[in-house]
Chain A
Amino acid sequence: MIQFAEVSKSYQQKLVLDAVCMEIPRGEIFGLLGPNGAGKTTLIRILNQILVADAGHIFLDNEPINRLHLKQIGYLPEERGLYKSMNVGAHLLFLAQLRGLSRSEALSNVTRWLKHFEIYDWKNKPIATLSKGMAQKVQFIASLVHEPKLLILDEPLSGFDPLNVDLILNEIKALKQKGTTIILSTHNMKSVDEVCDRVALLNKGKILVQDSVQHLRRNHSKGLIFVRFKGNMVGFANALWTDFTLLDQKEVEEGVFECTLQIRGSHTLNDLMRSLQDHVSIQHLSEILPSMQEVFVDMITQKVSENE
Chain B
Amino acid sequence: MNKLLILVKREIVERLSQKGFWYMLVLGPLIVLIGLFAILKAADQGKQDIKVLIADPGQIMAHRLMAQEEKNVHYYFIDDYLELPEFQNAKAYREFDVLLELNEKVLNNKKCFVFYRDQLGLDARIQIKFQVERRLEELIAAKYSNLTEQSFREIKQGIIFDFRDLKDPKNESKEANAWVGFIMGAFVLFFVGLYGMTIFRATLREKSSRIVEVLMASVRPQQLMLSKIIGIGLVAVLQMFGWIVILGLGFEILQQTVFVDIFDPSNWDASGPQRLNPLSELVFEQLNFSFLIVHFLLFFIASFLFFGALFSVLGARSNADSDGQQFLLPLLFLIGFGIFSGIYAIYFPESSLTGFLSYLPFSSPVIALIELSKGVTFSAYIELLLSLLILIACAFVLLRLAANWYRKSILRF
Binary flags per residue of A45-56, CB closer than 8 Å to B gives 1, else 0 = 100111100000
Chain A residues in 8 Å Cβ range of B213: 45, 50, 77, 79-80
**Contacts A45-B411, A97-B1; A70 near B217 (Cβ below 8 A):** yes
**Contacts A94-B10, A98-B6, A103-B1; A77 near B214 (Cβ below 8 A):** yes
Chain A residues in 8 Å Cβ range of B6: 94, 97-98
- CB of B17 within 8 A of chain A? yes
- Complex: how many Å from CA A139 to CA B209? 13
> Which listed residue (B14, B216, B218) contacts A83, Cβ 8 A?
B14
Contact B413 A98 (CB under 8 A): no
- Complex: how many Å from CA A83 to CA B18? 14
- CB of B210 within 8 A of chain A? yes
- CB of B219 within 8 A of chain A? yes
- CB of A82 within 8 A of chain B? yes
Considering the complex, which residues of chain A in the window 64-89 have a beta carbon less than 8 Å from any beta carbon of chain B? 67, 70, 73, 75, 77, 79-86
- CB of A24 within 8 A of chain B? no
Contact A95 B214 (CB under 8 A): yes
Residue in chain B with minimal CB distance to A98: B218
Chain A residues in 8 Å Cβ range of B212: 81
- Complex: how many Å from CA A67 to CA B1? 16
- Complex: how many Å from CA A83 to CA B11? 11
- CB of B156 within 8 A of chain A? no
Contact B209 A81 (CB under 8 A): yes
- CB of A99 within 8 A of chain B? yes
- CB of A216 within 8 A of chain B? no
Contact A98 B215 (CB under 8 A): yes
Chain B residues in 8 Å Cβ range of A142: 214
- Complex: how many Å from CA A48 to CA B218? 8
- CB of B41 within 8 A of chain A? no
Contact B1 A50 (CB under 8 A): no
Residue in chain A with minimal CB distance to B9: A94
Binary flags per residue of B1-23, CB closer than 8 Å to A gives 1, else 0 = 10100110010001001000000
Min C-beta distance of A199 to chain B, whole Å:
23
Min C-beta distance of B328 to chain A, whole Å:
23
**Contacts A50-B217, A50-B411, A98-B215; A80 near B14 (Cβ below 8 A):** no
Min C-beta distance of B403 to chain A, whole Å:
13
User: Helix, strand, loop or mixed for chain B's interface?
Assistant: helix
- Complex: how many Å from CA A95 to CA B206? 14
- Complex: how many Å from CA A226 to CA B14? 62
Contact A85 B210 (CB under 8 A): no
Contact B214 A80 (CB under 8 A): yes
- Complex: how many Å from CA A285 to CA B220? 57
Considering the complex, which residues of chain B in the window 194-237 have a beta carbon less than 8 Å from any beta carbon of chain A? 206, 209-220
Min C-beta distance of B239 to chain A, whole Å:
18
> Which listed residue (A84, A85, A99, A102) contacts B218, Cβ 8 A?
A99
Chain A residues in 8 Å Cβ range of B214: 75, 77, 80-81, 95, 139, 142
Chain A residues in 8 Å Cβ range of B3: 98
Chain B: number of interface residues, binned into ranges? 20 to 34
Contact A79 B10 (CB under 8 A): no
Min C-beta distance of B248 to chain A, whole Å:
32
Chain B residues in 8 Å Cβ range of A83: 10, 14, 209, 211
**Which of B1, B210, B213, B217 has the most A CB atoms < 10 Å from its CB?**
B217
Min C-beta distance of B208 to chain A, whole Å:
8
Residue in chain B with minimal CB distance to A84: B209
- Complex: how many Å from CA A160 to CA B212? 22
Contact B210 A80 (CB under 8 A): yes
Considering the complex, which residues of chain A in the window 229-259 have a beta carbon less than 8 Å from any beta carbon of chain B? none
Min C-beta distance of A254 to chain B, whole Å:
59
Min C-beta distance of A106 to chain B, whole Å:
10
Chain B residues in 8 Å Cβ range of A75: 214, 217
Contact B210 A98 (CB under 8 A): no
- Complex: how many Å from CA A95 to CA B220? 14
Min C-beta distance of B150 to chain A, whole Å:
61
Contact A50 B211 (CB under 8 A): no
**Which of B1, B10, B218, B220 has the most A CB atoms < 10 Å from its CB?**
B218
Min C-beta distance of B221 to chain A, whole Å:
8
Chain A residues in 8 Å Cβ range of B211: 80-83
- Complex: how many Å from CA A50 to CA B7? 17
Chain B residues in 8 Å Cβ range of A82: 209, 211
- Complex: how many Å from CA A82 to CA B6? 16
Contact B17 A85 (CB under 8 A): yes
- Complex: how many Å from CA A48 to CA B212? 13
Contact A79 B218 (CB under 8 A): no
Min C-beta distance of B347 to chain A, whole Å:
46
Chain B residues in 8 Å Cβ range of A102: 1
- Complex: how many Å from CA A142 to CA B214? 9
- Complex: how many Å from CA A84 to CA B411? 20
Chain A residues in 8 Å Cβ range of B217: 48-50, 70, 73, 75, 77
Chain B residues in 8 Å Cβ range of A80: 210-211, 213-214
Min C-beta distance of B230 to chain A, whole Å:
16
Min C-beta distance of B225 to chain A, whole Å:
14
Residue in chain A with minimal CB distance to B412: A11
- Complex: how many Å from CA A80 to CA B217? 12
Min C-beta distance of B146 to chain A, whole Å:
71
Considering the complex, which residues of chain B in the window 267-310 have a beta carbon less than 8 Å from any beta carbon of chain A? none
Chain B residues in 8 Å Cβ range of A49: 217
> Could you tell me which B residues sit within 8 Å of A by CB distance?
1, 3, 6-7, 10, 14, 17, 206, 209-220, 411, 413
Additional A-B contacts beyond A81-B212, A86-B10 (10; CB < 8 A): A50-B217, A50-B411, A51-B411, A70-B218, A75-B214, A77-B214, A81-B206, A83-B10, A95-B218, A98-B3
Which 6 A-B pairs give the minimum distances between C-beta atoms? A81-B209, A81-B210, A81-B211, A98-B218, A79-B210, A48-B217
> Could you tell me which A residues sit within 8 Å of B by CB distance?
45, 48-51, 67, 70, 73, 75, 77, 79-86, 94-95, 97-99, 102-103, 139, 142
Q: Please, could you name 18 A-B residue pairs with CB atoms under 8 Å apart, sorted by A?
A: A45-B213, A45-B411, A48-B217, A50-B217, A75-B214, A77-B214, A80-B211, A80-B214, A81-B211, A81-B212, A83-B10, A83-B14, A94-B10, A95-B214, A97-B6, A98-B3, A99-B218, A103-B1
